[in-house]
């Protein structure tokens, strides 16, 4: 291996994008980008600075006064302070849900990700618009998918492991409804980009998917 690359993992709900991306990042020693953490850091800053996060323009004006950074251990820094644990607070989470709805803030986060991934390599990110909006210049783009049935089964098992009462048929209906909504939304509908590699994990286990992506990444280094 010589040069690092950037990796974008896209795909429908329940495909295992986040868990796969995190494991790939560990194996390659890459930085895993969690856009949700960026929104939470912005929300935390708004709370600390007394900014009214119910007013979009007030939050937007605040952005010029803060600096957000990431490291390879999934830590996020706000003005040099590691706030990885602080942003897990419920109050911060609720504020983040609010600010994430604002077009100006969403644009800022997209530009933030574009900036750091254009400036350097060694980043991996997942999400339902990662390959064409958040990391359009990634050297490796993966569209991770699977049948609705297998994705629903995996999600049901995951919920059960977490102690949640789960009905497979209900989960399957939710997965199919989410698929339809993602594929037919007006803005940035879910689709496979021309340069993406499709990995159907229906007949693959977790380790096989991870190893496949790691192998594809190494071929491009």
CATH value at residue 172: 3.40.50.300
pLDDT of amino acid 39: 92
Q: Is 90 exceeded by the pLDDT of residue 166?
A: no
Q: 69, 90, 120: which is the final residue of a domain?
A: 120
Q: Contact at 8 Å (CB) between 143 and 39?
A: no
Task: Return the number of other C-beta atoms located less than 10 Å from residue 172's C-beta.
Answer: 18
Residue 187 in tokens: 């803005």
Give the per-residue pLDDT at 148. 98
Q: 35-48 and 103-119 are packed helices; what angle lies between their axes, rounded to 10 degrees?
A: 120
CA distances from residue 21 to 15, 52, 126 in whole angstroms, order as listed: 11, 34, 7
Task: Assess whether 80 and 151 both reside in one domain.
Answer: no
Taking the whole predicted model, whether its pTM rises above 0.75 is answered as: yes
Looking at the fold, whether 135 and 82 belong to one and the same domain comes out as no
The answer to whether residues 221 and 126 belong to one domain is yes
**Token pair for residue 74?**
């999934």
Does 18 count as an annotated binding residue? yes
- pLDDT tens, residue by residue, 78-128: 999 999 999 988 899 889 989 988 999 989 999 999 999 988 999 999 987
- Integer Cα distance of 2 and 134 in angstroms: 25
Whether residues 162 and 176 share a domain: the answer is yes
Average pLDDT over residues 27-39: 91
**Nearest one of 140, 122, 115 to 130, comparing CA atoms:** 140
Whether 14 has a binding-site annotation, put simply, is yes
Is 97 annotated in a binding site? The answer is no
- Does 15 appear as a known binding residue? yes
Q: Does the annotation flag 13 for ligand binding? A: yes
pLDDT one-digit tens code per residue, 38-67: 999 999 999 999 999 899 999 999 999 999
- pLDDT band, very low/low/confident/very high, at 34 (cuts 50, 70, 90): confident
In the chain, how many domains are there? 2
Asked whether the predicted pLDDT for residue 1 surpasses 60, the reply is no
Confidence of residue 2 (pLDDT cuts 50, 70, 90): low
Instruction: Tell me if 122 is assigned to a ligand binding site.
Output: no
**Residue 146 annotated as binding?**
no
pLDDT at 187 over 90: no
Please provide the average confidence, as pLDDT, over all residues in the chain.
Answer: 93
Do residue 128 and residue 220 come from a single domain? yes
Is pLDDT of 159 > 90? no
* Residue whose entry in the numeric block shows the structure tokens 């939710």: 174
Same domain (yes/no): 206, 144: yes
Residues 51 and 4 in one domain: no
pLDDT over 60 at 215, yes or no: yes
């Amino acid at each position: 291996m010589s040069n690092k690359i950037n990796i974008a993992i896209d795909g429908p709900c329940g495909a295992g994008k986040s868990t796969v991306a995190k494991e790939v990042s560990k194996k390659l020693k890459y930085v895993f980008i969690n856009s949700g953490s960026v929104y939470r850091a912005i929300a935390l800053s708004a709370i600390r600075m007394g900014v009214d996060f119910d007013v979009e323009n007030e939050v937007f004006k605040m952005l010029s006064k803060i600096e957000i950074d990431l490291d390879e251990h999934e830590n996020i820094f706000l003005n040099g302070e590691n706030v990885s644990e602080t942003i897990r607070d419920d109050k911060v989470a609720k504020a983040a849900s609010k600010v994430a709805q604002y077009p100006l803030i969403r644009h800022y986060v997209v530009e933030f990700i574009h900036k750091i991934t254009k400036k350097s390599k060694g980043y991996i990110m997942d999400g339902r618009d990662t390959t064409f909006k958040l990391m359009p210049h990634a050297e490796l783009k993966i569209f991770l998918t699977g049948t609705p049935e297998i994705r629903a089964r995996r999600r049901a098992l995951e919920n059960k492991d977490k102690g949640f009462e789960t009905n497979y048929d209900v989960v399957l209906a939710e997965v199919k409804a989410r698929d339809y909504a993602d594929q037919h939304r007006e803005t940035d509908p879910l689709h496979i980009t021309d340069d993406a590699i499709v990995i159907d994990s229906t007949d693959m286990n977790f380790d096989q998917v991870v190893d496949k992506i790691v192998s594809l990444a190494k071929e491009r280094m």
